[in-house]
Structure 1
Amino acid sequence: MDCDKCGGAAVTHIAYSGLHLCEGCFSESVETRVRQRVREDGLLDESATPENPDTWVVGLSGGKDSVVLTRVLHDTFQEDSRVELVGLTIHEGIEGYRDASVEACRELVADLGLKHELVAYEEEFGVRMDDVATEDPEGMAPCAYCGVFRRDVLERYAEQLDADKLLTGHNLDDEAQTALMNFLEGDPAQIAKHFDASLGSFDDREAQETFVPRAKPLRDIPEKEVALYAHLNDLPAHITECPHASEAYRGEIADLLRELEENHPGTRHSIMAGYEQLAEAAADSLRGGADDLGDCDRCGAPTDRDVCRKCYLVDAVGGDVPAR
């Protein structure tokens, strides 16, 4: 099959657009959509200068999504001194899993010449996820602990690195799954938080002096296209599922969306288009803002509780709470 754009040999068929694309046209398509999202979300501060650049910290796990995001952003802004990229990698303490992805991160940042920070749960909290998953004092899935710890580390180190933006590699499948889960769980407050955290315009977001603004520039790109881009461009991505991954409900939602997308191409895009409008309305209605947040009694982090969720869980697993 020939490429519909240039006539070369096609390497993929994009069902929701109907296009057959060759390697070069496919890669260009991914890059164009990421750059368009960067523009539409208003990531680049117009006041940024080479002397005072916008610092973007990228949550770099070494998986396909974060590696592709880092590569596309680097290629886009390598000649633009108004943007400084910093990779932030978290080692959760999972034997035989994270070490390989950390090496992928090191290889990528060395190749691109980027600043890189590596942070470990063991150093931050005195715990390793292997031990947390085994002991499980709260009777939760390991992902529930890990997600709370990861968000805390990303936020704290983004602040320490003086980040203007914190970017993560969530793709279209990730976002559509979250959207559908939030809707099916009937949780408008969570939908509002999801919008404020990473879907709204930076000009409209509140609490920016309290939290480093987040963005997801890959959120228009399906997971399979991210993986294909990484493969075609020979990127050092570590593509292996975490051995503790056990989000059964998300897995069911992922299977449902895959079937819907196969039978009705474009379903994920339609879900997100409608969801973002609903999420914005929910945020406008339910948003409390930074004024409703106090300081955690243990670590000083912003929270609507006396003790934040991270400190509660760190205590539960016998770790140490880091000072903020």
Structure 2
Amino acid sequence: MECDKCGEEAVMHAAYSGAHLCETHFCRSVDKRVRRRIREDALLSPDSTPEDPERWVIGLSGGKDSVVLTHILDETFGHDPRVDMMALTIHEGIEGYRDESVDACVELADDLDMRHELVSYAEEFGVRMDDVVEDDPENMAACAYCGVFRRDLLEGYAEEFGADKLLTGHNLDDEAQTALMNVLEGDVTQIAKHFDASLGSFEDRNEGEEFVPRAKPLRDVPEKEVALYAHIKDLPAHITECPHSSEAYRGEIQELLWDLEENHPGTRHSIMSGYEELAELTAERYRSDEGADLNECEQCGSKTGSRVCRKCRLIESINAV
């Protein structure tokens, strides 16, 4: 099998496009899609200058997605004085697993000479995910706890570091799964939040928003292609599944999408194309018909629609065991 561009040996075949690409042209293809997404989302504000650069905080877990994202961003903006990038790693307290991925984060940040900050559940919340999973006071999947805690730290520290954008390594599979889950669950408000949080163009953002907006520059790239890119570039990615990963419903959706993609190449792209348009319409509706205003959590001061935020309620439950 030869590369469509140069005749060299192809290392991948993209069924959704029909392309056969060698290592060089495959990596160029991934780079091109990420940079196109950055342009289309207007990620870099036209007001950014060397005297007043934008600050981007990258959620760097050490897995393939965040490592690839950090590498491409550094290659694209590493010498651009209009952008000030730093990496933020969160240690959940998962013995063995997170220790190795933190090592990958440190190695990559050192290689790129990028500022790198490490925070942990233990220091911030007084809990470790290994203990939370063992006690499980709310009878929930581990990912349900971890998602709340991780989101709180990412958003809180992005704000503390003065970030203009929070960048995460969600790939096409991640986003298509979330889209399909929201539609199947009939969660219209979550669809609207998904658009406002990370899918809309940054040209349309309002000043003084409640949260640091998220960007997902990898969201056009399938998961397997991200993994192949990390392998070809020999990036220090820790490619091992979390031992507590147990989102049963998302796993079912993942299997469904794999089957659909195999039988109907391009399904993931089609889902996201229609979903983003639907999400934009939904966001417009809910912006004009907003419910309760956000309050400050009585315990930690974070923004919440309730008296006490979800994170603080979970910590109370964990500590009560």
Unmatched 5+ residue regions in structure 2? none
Q: How far apart are 1:209 and its partner, in Å?
A: 3.0
1:59-208 mapped onto 2 (5 Å cutoff): 59-206=59-206, 208=208
CA contact (8 A) 1:173 1:268 kept: yes
Unmatched 5+ residue regions in structure 1? 320-324
CA contact (8 A) 1:170 1:218 kept: yes
Deviation per CA, 1:276-305: give whole Å up to 9, x if none.
Answer: 011111111113669821111111111110
Q: How far apart are 1:208 and its partner, in Å?
A: 4.7
**CA separation of 1:290/1:97 partners in 2, compared to 1, >3 Å: closer, same or farther?**
farther
- Runs of 4+, deviation exceeding 6 Å: none
CA contact (8 A) 1:34 1:220 kept: yes
Deviation per CA, 1:183-226: give whole Å up to 9, x if none.
Answer: 00011011111111100112324575321111100000000000
Question: What is the one-letter code of the residue matched to 2:311?
Answer: K
User: What residue number does 2:225 align with?
Assistant: 225
Specify the SS of the correspondent of 1:292: coil
Alpha-carbon separation, structure 2, partners of 1:148 and 1:93: 15
CA contact (8 A) 1:197 1:214 kept: yes
Deviation per CA, 1:35-86: give whole Å up to 9, x if none.
Answer: 0000100110111111221110000000000000000000001221111110
Alpha-carbon separation, structure 1, partners of 2:260 and 2:61: 29
TM-score by length of 2: 0.97
CA contact (8 A) 2:171 2:222 kept: yes
Instruction: Give yes or no for the alignment of 1:270 onto 2:254.
Output: no
TM-score by length of 1: 0.96
User: What residue number does 1:299 align with?
Assistant: 300
Deviation per CA, 1:68-111: give whole Å up to 9, x if none.
Answer: 00000000012211111100000000011000000000000000
Question: What is the one-letter code of the residue matched to 1:309?
Answer: R
User: What residue number does 1:322 align with?
Assistant: none
Alpha-carbon separation, structure 1, partners of 2:151 and 2:118: 15
1:237-256 mapped onto 2 (5 Å cutoff): 237-256=237-256
Aligned residue pairs total 319
Specify the SS of the correspondent of 2:203: coil
CA contact (8 A) 1:206 1:289 kept: no
Deviation per CA, 1:240-279: give whole Å up to 9, x if none.
Answer: 0111101000000000000100111000000000000111
Specify the SS of the correspondent of 1:87: strand
Alpha-carbon separation, structure 2, partners of 1:206 and 1:51: 22
Alpha-carbon separation, structure 2, partners of 1:203 and 1:290: 25
Specify the SS of the correspondent of 2:307: coil
Question: What is the one-letter code of the residue matched to 2:17?
Answer: S
Alpha-carbon separation, structure 2, partners of 1:66 and 1:200: 21
Alpha-carbon separation, structure 2, partners of 1:242 and 1:9: 34
Alpha-carbon separation, structure 1, partners of 2:245 and 2:47: 42
Alpha-carbon separation, structure 2, partners of 1:220 and 1:298: 39
Cα-Cα RMSD:
1.3
Specify the SS of the correspondent of 2:204: coil
Specify the SS of the correspondent of 2:239: coil
